[in-house]
Structure 1
Amino acid sequence: MAYEHPSRDRIKTILEQAGAIAVVGLTNNPDRPAYEVSEAMLHRGYRIIPVNPKGEDVLGQKGYASLKDIPESIDIVNVFRRAEHTPPIAEEAAAVGAKTLWLQLGIASEEAARIASESGMTVIMDRCIKVEDAVLRPNRK
Structure 2
Amino acid sequence: MHSDTETVRRILTELGDTWAIVGLSADERRAAHGVAGVLQRHGKRIVPVHPRAETVHGEQGYPSLDAIPFDVDVVDVFVRSELAGAVADEAVAKGARAVWFQLGVTDEAAYERTRAAGLEMVMDRCPAIELRALR
Shift of 1:119: 1.4
Q: SS of 2:26's equivalent?
A: coil
Correspondences of 1:39-50 after superposition (within 5 Å): 39-50=37-48
Shift of 1:13: 2.1
TM-score (norm 2): 0.93
Identity of aligned residues (%): 37
- CA deviation string 1:57-97 (max 9, x = no partner): 11110111111111222111000000000111011101011
- CA deviation string 1:101-141 (max 9, x = no partner): 100011111122122112111110000011111111x2xxx
Q: Which residue of 2 aligns with 1:130?
A: 128
Q: Which residue of 2 aligns with 1:64?
A: 62
Cα distance between partner residues in 1 of 2:20 and 2:86: 15
Cα distance between partner residues in 1 of 2:21 and 2:105: 14
Q: Which residue of 2 aligns with 1:15?
A: 12
Cα distance between partner residues in 2 of 1:125 and 1:6: 6
Shift of 1:34: 0.3
Cα-Cα RMSD: 1.2
Correspondences of 1:81-120 after superposition (within 5 Å): 81-120=79-118
| Runs of 4+ deviating beyond 2 Å | 4-7
Aligned residues between the structures: 134
TM-score (norm 1): 0.89
Contact 2:17 2:43 (C-alpha < 8 Å) held by counterparts: no
* Structure 1 stretch displaced more, 19-28 or 63-72: 63-72
